[in-house]
Amino acid sequence: MKQIADELVQAGITKVWIDEPLANHTTWRIGGPADLLIQPKDKSSLQKALQILHRHQIPWSVIGRGSNLLVRDRGIRGAVLKVAEGLSHCEFRGEEVCVGAGYSMIRLAMETGKRGLTGMEFAGGIPGTVGGAVYMNAGAHGSDLSRILIDAEILFEDGETKVLTNEEMSFSYRTSLLQKKKGIVVEARFQLRAGDRQEITATLAANKERRRLTQPLQLPCAGSVFRNPPGDHAGRLIEAAGLKGYQIGGAQVSELHANFIVNRGGATATDVLTLIDHIRSTILEKYGIEMHPEVLVVGEG
């Protein structure tokens, strides 16, 4: 990998790490090493990195801030592209906003609120980046990205860039086209509308306070672990099954919110996956409901 790392640096991509522990780059603070971790500084360097990886036939994957992500203990073979600060531009055009994939969703919700634009309040507690949120059609408080996205610029594996409309993104609950067709979100454009700044600010503040009181934000976690089953809430089912506080190794079902698994210290991906399996089998046995994880699991066990 050193030869490829050197080639990337020569191409002007200076943030390159070999055998970098991904625990340093995920909100769960869990994950084995990436053979190669690359953080492009802009769209051009992202394209150059993909070209170099393609030329050497190196497999690649993408992360943002590492929320909603579980990296297995042996890490990820090939290259990991970290889309973060380098793609974090944000431009308001009336009631539209054009945002880079590395921009924080929480910051975006705050910035739109400051401008008296409504539609993004639900995103005030989503800890990831715009790119990750588009990838999984992130949502909260009864809304999601599919309701406000106009289009997204996607860089596909063959190096071709396309702007896909909302309809072409094939959104459904916590999914998009990108689960089926490999690509990287470069930029997204959202349609907002004028609203009452005080009302928007109040909604954001209320959502923030609710998160503070109900979510274990003081411990490393990845957000909600399971999708809500039809007509119910994953957290309610897990709590009703008596699993709040249940712990395997360093991984524990949060005592504050049962749909969060927290890292109490030294948790491994194996601990988390074993705990997820225990929760699923318990809920299936007690209630006959199949639970589906919302977190993306990647890498080698």
Of the residues 20, 121, 153, 294, only one is catalytic, namely: 294
Radius of gyration, alpha carbons of the chain: 19
- CB atoms under 10 Å from CB of 26, counted, come to 22
Residue 296 has which token pair?
């993306």
pLDDT of residue 269: 98
pLDDT of residue 301: 77
The phi, psi pair for 49, rounded to 5°, reads: -60, -45
Of the residues 67, 176, 224, 254, only one is catalytic, namely: 224
- Give the amino acid at 53: L
Q: Which helix (H) or strand (E) holds 139?
A: strand 139-140
pLDDT of residue 217: 85
Q: What is the CATH number that goes with domain 2-85?
A: 3.30.43.10
Catalytic-residue membership of 174: yes
As a whole number of angstroms, the distance between CA 30 and CA 272 comes to 9
As a whole number of angstroms, the distance between CA 49 and CA 13 comes to 8
Start-end of H helices in the chain: 2-10, 43-55, 105-114, 130-136, 197-214, 234-240, 269-287
Whether pTM > 0.85 for this model: the answer is yes
Q: How far is CA 111 from the centre of its chain?
A: 20
Do 33 and 19 meet the contact criterion of CB atoms below 8 Å apart?
Answer: yes
pLDDT of residue 211: 83
pLDDT along the chain (301 residues), means of 10: 94 95 97 97 92 93 92 97 89 97 94 95 88 91 92 89 97 92 95 95 88 89 94 97 98 97 98 98 98 94 77
Length, in residues, of the chain: 301
Residue 165 has which token pair?
């409309």
Q: Which helix (H) or strand (E) holds 150?
A: strand 149-156
**Kind of pairing between the strands at 117-118 and 96-100:** unpaired
Of the residues 29, 65, 72, 174, only one is catalytic, namely: 174
pLDDT of residue 275: 98
As a whole number of angstroms, the distance between CA 246 and CA 259 comes to 12
As a whole number of angstroms, the distance between CA 154 and CA 186 comes to 6
Do 271 and 248 meet the contact criterion of CB atoms below 8 Å apart?
Answer: yes
Q: What is the CATH number that goes with domain 88-199?
A: 3.30.465.10
Catalytic-residue membership of 91: no
Tell which residue, 123, 98, 108, has the closest CA to residue 185: 98
- CB atoms under 10 Å from CB of 172, counted, come to 11
Please name the residues in contact with 96: beta carbons below 8 A apart, sequence gap of 6 or more.
Answer: 150, 189, 190, 191, 192
Residue with token string 């009452």: 196
Catalytic-residue membership of 281: no
As a whole number of angstroms, the distance between CA 178 and CA 113 comes to 29
pLDDT of residue 159: 78
What are the residue boundaries of the structural domains of the chain, listed by start?
2-85, 88-199, 216-298
Q: What is the CATH number that goes with domain 216-298?
A: 3.90.78.10
pLDDT of residue 38: 97
As a whole number of angstroms, the distance between CA 263 and CA 252 comes to 7
